[in-house]
Amino acid sequence: MTHLSEETLILHYYGEENDTPAPEGTLAVERHLEECGECRALYGSLVRTLNMVDALPVPERGEDYGARVWERIEPGLPARRRWLGFTLPPLRWAAAGVALAGLLVAAFFAGRFYPGTRPTPAITAKAPDAQGPERILLVAVGDYLERSQMVLVELANTTAKGPVDISAEQERAGDLVAETRLYRQTAAHTGDTRIDSVLEELERVLVDIKNQPSRMTPRALEELRQRLEAEGIIFKIRVLGANVRSRETTAAERAGSKL
Amino acid sequence: MTDLAMVARVRAGDADAYRVLVERHSRTLFRLAYRMTGNEHDAEDVVQESFLRAYRQLGRFDERASFGTWLYRIAVNCSLDLVRARKRRGEITASADPEMDDPLSTAAAPDPAPDRMAMSGEVRERLSGAMNELSASERTAFVLRHFEGMRIEEVGRVLGCQPGAAKHSVFRAVQKLRRALEPLGSAR
Ligand SMILES: [Zn+2]
C-alpha cells in the first residue's frame, strides 16, 4: 500500500487536495485514512500541531488602538503637510528655501538622530524656538527617506519571468536623486560623515536605477535585489527614518505642550 | 460608510476620511503583523508603515478591489521587509533557539495528556521558537494560509510567487512546526 505523503495530508487539512495535481482526491484520502493506522497517526500529529499553533497567544490591542495609530501617522500624511502651510512639492520648496533649509537641517543633522550619537533628551530640554519649522523639516526628511525606501523595496520585491517596466520607479528615483544631493550637501556642511555615507550609497543606487533601461530583465532585477541586500541599504534608510520620526514626535510633543 | 466610499473621499482631498479607515483596520492589521513578525514592537511599526504607504499609493488602488485586501497586501510586504532585515542582521530571540533547551530533560519527561500539552508553556516556547526560525517566505506563506485562510494560489499572488513555490513554503513551515513538537511526544 502506498502511504499518503505529508504534503498530501497538509493539503487535506486545508481542504486543498483537489486543487492541485495530487493523485488523491478528498475521498481517496479519507478512505486511506480510515484504513491505514500509520497515515492516521501522522495526520493526527499534524492536526494537533496546527491546533496548538491556533492556541498561540496574540497580544490584543484595545479599542483605542486605531486612534493611537492615527495620531502617530497623521503628521506624516502629505495633505496634513499642506495644511501646515507646506504647499510646494519638496523639491521646489527645497530650491526656494535652500538657505533656510540649510540652517534648519544643520540644527538637527548635527549628529543627533543617528544611532550611536548623542541622545536626544538634552536637546528636548533646551526646547528651541524653531519648533514648527523644525518639525515640518523633519516631516519632509522622513517623507523623503520613506519614499526612497519604497522605491527600493518595490524593486527588491519584484520577481518576474519576463522584462518588467520600471519607468514609474525610475521617475521617482530621478526626483529622489535631486533631493538626496540637497540633503547630502547639508550633511557635509555639518560634518556628519555617517549620514553622508548612507546618503551617498543611496544616491549611487538611485542613479543606477534611473539609468537602467526602462524594461528591466529578470536577471538585472535579481542582480539589483542581491546588491540591495548585500549593501543593506534599505535597512540603513529604515533606521535613519525611524530616528527622524522619533525626533519628529519629540518636536510635535514640544509644540503640543507649548500650546 | 463603506471602505470604498471613504477611499473616494480621501481621494477627493478629505484626509480626515482616512482616519476612519485607520481606525477600522488597525486592530486586524496588528494581528496579522504580529503573526508575521512575532514581535509587538515590530508589529506596531508595520501597522503604521502600512497605513503611510497605503495613503501614498492610494492613487494606484483599483476601486473594483477590496480596500482591506489591498491594505493586507501592503502590510504583508512591510512585514516581509522587516523580517528579512532582521534575518540579515542575524537577530534571533532567545526562545527561537531550540538548541538552548536540554533535549534529554524533555525526552525523559513522561508524555503529558494532550489537554495539558495545549496549556504547557514549553509547547508554546517551542512553537513560537519554531515560528521564529521559519524563513521569511515560509512564515508569510504559512500565516496567510493558516491564519488568514487564503487559498494557496492566493498566497502565491500576494507574495508575488508561483503557486508551487507558495505551496512548498507552506509545506516546509508545517513540517518544521510539527517536528519542533516531536521531542515532546505530541507528534506521534
Ligand atoms: Zn498509509
Average pLDDT of span B44-65: 89
Average pLDDT of span A241-248: 75
CA–CA distance, A28 with A222 (Å, rounded to integer):
42
% chain B with pLDDT above 70: 80
pLDDT class for A26, splitting at 50, 70, 90?
Answer: confident
Average pLDDT of span B76-80: 87
Question: What is the A33 CA–ligand 1 centroid distance (Å)?
Answer: 7
Report residue A197 CA to chain centroid gap: 20
pLDDT class for A182, splitting at 50, 70, 90?
Answer: confident
Does the pLDDT value for residue A112 go beyond 50?
Answer: no
Q: Least CB-CB distance to B81: which of A67, A77, A153?
A: A153
pLDDT class for B177, splitting at 50, 70, 90?
Answer: very high
Mean pLDDT (chain B, rounded) = 80
Does the pLDDT value for residue A104 go beyond 80?
Answer: no
Residue A111 is classified by DSSP as T
B chain contacts of residue A53, beta-carbon cutoff 8 Å: 127, 131, 146, 177
Instruction: Name the CATH architecture for the domain at A93-258.
Output: Up-down Bundle (1.20)
Structural domains present in chain B: 1-95 (1.10.1740.10), 102-188 (1.10.10.10)
Average pLDDT of span B154-166: 88
Burial class (CB in 10 A: 0-12, 13-18, 19+), B134: buried
Strand, helix or coil at A17?
coil
B171: which strand partners? none
A chain contacts of residue B27, beta-carbon cutoff 8 Å: 60-61, 65-66
Question: What is the A4 CA–ligand 1 centroid distance (Å)?
Answer: 5
Does the pLDDT value for residue A86 go beyond 60?
Answer: no
Cβ–Cβ < 8 Å for A152, A180: no
pLDDT class for A145, splitting at 50, 70, 90?
Answer: confident
CA–CA distance, A234 with A156 (Å, rounded to integer):
9
Helix, strand, coil content of chain A in percent (nearest 5) = 75, 0, 25
Which residue intervals of chain A bear CATH 1.20.120?
93-258
Task: Name the E strands within A114-226.
Answer: 164-165, 215-216
Task: Please answer yes or no on whether B26 and A65 come within 8 Å at the CB atom.
Answer: yes
User: Model ipTM?
Assistant: 0.77
Question: What is the A39 CA–ligand 1 centroid distance (Å)?
Answer: 4
